[in-house]
Amino acid sequence: MHHERRLLRIDLDAAVAFALDEAPATTVVALCAALGAFFALHVFGKSYLLGTSDYWSYPPGDAGTIVTGWNYFVHHGWRFPIGTAFGTNGATGANLVFFDAIPLVALVGKALRPILGTSWHPYGIWHLAIYVLQAVLGALLARRLGMRGLFAGLAAAVICLTSAWFLLRFYQESLNGQFVVLWALLNYARSTPETPRRPLAIGWAAGLCRALLVTPYLLAMIVPIAIAAHARLARSDRRSAAISAASSIASLVVVWFVVGYSVPFPTKEEAGVYGMSSTNLMSLVVPFYSSVFTRLPERDLQEATGLQWDAHAFLGVAVIPMVAIALVFNGRAMLALVRRHWMLCAALALLALYAPGPRWYFGQHRLFEVPTGREIEHALSIFRATGYALAFGAAMLVVRRFGRRGTIGFAALALVQLYDSSASAAVARDATARPQAHQADWTAWSALLAPYDKVSLYPSWLCWGKIRPPESIRNSEREIEFIAAARGMRSNHACTGRALTDCSPGIADIPSIKQKGMKRGTLYVFLRPAYTAEMLDGLAGCREIPDGWACSVP
């Protein structure tokens, strides 16, 4: 009996140690990957993740633009640069970056085209992948910071999956790829003289190139982390830092050239929207949606511009208490941590100060405004903020201070945040449950487009100049292009997430068309109010449609 009790005690001690102190990395990674997949399935559903739900027949907003770019890209053969869709915008094409179409995903998806065909798209699978990677990299980062038990790994995964800046970013598939930020923080933690040079260099080059292939915005967010990591490493191992930095820079240059990136400088209209999408300081401590706090200020009281919901950055019901506990009970260790990693902290602080833009608001109250010129103001109004470093730093300090009790507290707070996030998850689930309403007659347009290889829409997208067309016509224009791209048709000028500032392909030269004649196989669509019947007089083969005129060679 005594021997059995001893064995039971040993087993119980081993189980506690497994949960709170040390668990095999493979076990933690496998369970966190399963958790990420389950969470994605819970939020979006199987048909969304497989790309077969009704939502994908015409997804709203950025998702619709992404799928349009994918269709332009996948229906036509490989050309150089490999990241450009040559089905639109004339001979120059339009790079995937203008569609926010995630080159990493599009390139892999196009390579699978001979197997899977062109009737599918990879963006539902992408959402599944980023949820898995978000959970796994969160657990690996926690492990690297000394939180090696199963509970800590799962808690870290939950924090990463339920953070507002991730969970409520579902509508922007590219910026939702925030696992690259976690990857950068993990690489920072690995950037020590003890890490072999080759794995270190490969890790940074792969991580930075992966961010670039998701979206240049995420690359810009993690470059300061990379700089801080290499500067810190250089103080003790200059050779490793130099080799890693050179490898990363060379890799980025090659990827940039091969994929064919061009810098999409924002137009004045886009820059104005970015400024309106700045981070409101109230959003750090007050959530938009919550299952814990049932009485929240009205949405319009939580923001000042009408678009600050796009930069919502609620730290979370787990992170805020952890930060407070770390400050109160382990303040000296926090100061020591900041001194030891002052370059990283400075980089993160500058990014955090950047996020509110030149005008700082708390709710609807403007706290102050940084006087800037117009160009500088545009440059200060582009990027958002995340709080991963703050969350993991606070969790590490709490666990160090309280040991097993700290790990249990971390896990308990993560469970509270998991419950609290159910309200945000419901928002994401509802928003991705159905397609956008149609403005145009899709049956009629599908029949009208069927005989042609190309459609030319005039004016196209943001090429209306001073004319402000009705919203119904703008919506119809997007839908016509979506239908055409899905059929593998070419177009003159793309409706993109980032404005193609050269509008020459998107504005019709009526006298030249009349003189040279219309091209066979192309349907010309002239939209009101930019064009009138008098302007098209003498152009054969035209018929009136609800939003303008459709013309082609008889």
The model's pLDDT over 186-239, given as tens digits with 9 standing for 90+, comes to 999 999 999 999 999 999 999 999 999 999 889 989 999 999 999 999 999 999
Domain segments of the chain as ranges: 25-42+126-431, 442-551
Q: Is the pLDDT of residue 127 over 80?
A: yes
pLDDT for 114-123, tens place per residue? 888 878 899 9
Of the CA atoms within 13 Å of residue 296, those in its CB half-sphere come to 20
* pLDDT exceeds 70 at position 265: no
**Smallest Cα–Cα separation from 192: which of 244, 140, 245, 236?**
236
Radius of gyration of the chain (CA): 26
Residue 544 has a CB neighbour count (10 Å cut-off) of 11
Q: Check whether 538 has a pLDDT greater than 70.
A: yes
Mean pLDDT of 415-440: 94
| Spatial distance between the Cα atoms of 286 and 296, rounded to a whole number of angstroms | 8
Residues 13, 9: Cα–Cα separation, whole Å: 6
Query: What stretch of H or E contains 161?
Result: helix 150-162
Confidence of residue 62 (pLDDT cuts 50, 70, 90): confident
Residue 378 — pLDDT band, cuts 50, 70, 90? low
Give Dmax over CA atoms of the chain in angstroms.
104
- What is the residue whose two structure tokens read 């690359």? 219
Beta strand pairing call for 548-551 and 454-458: unpaired
* Predicted confidence (pLDDT) at residue 2 exceeds the cutoff of 70: no
Q: What is the mean pLDDT of residues 281-307?
A: 87
Provide the percentage of residues in the chain whose pLDDT is more than 90: 57
CB 549 within 8 A of CB 525: yes
Is it the case that residue 419 has pLDDT exceeding 70?
Answer: yes
Q: CA separation (Å) from 175 to 130, 194, 310, 421?
A: 11, 33, 11, 19
Query: For 262-362, where are the E strands, in sequence order?
Result: 359-362
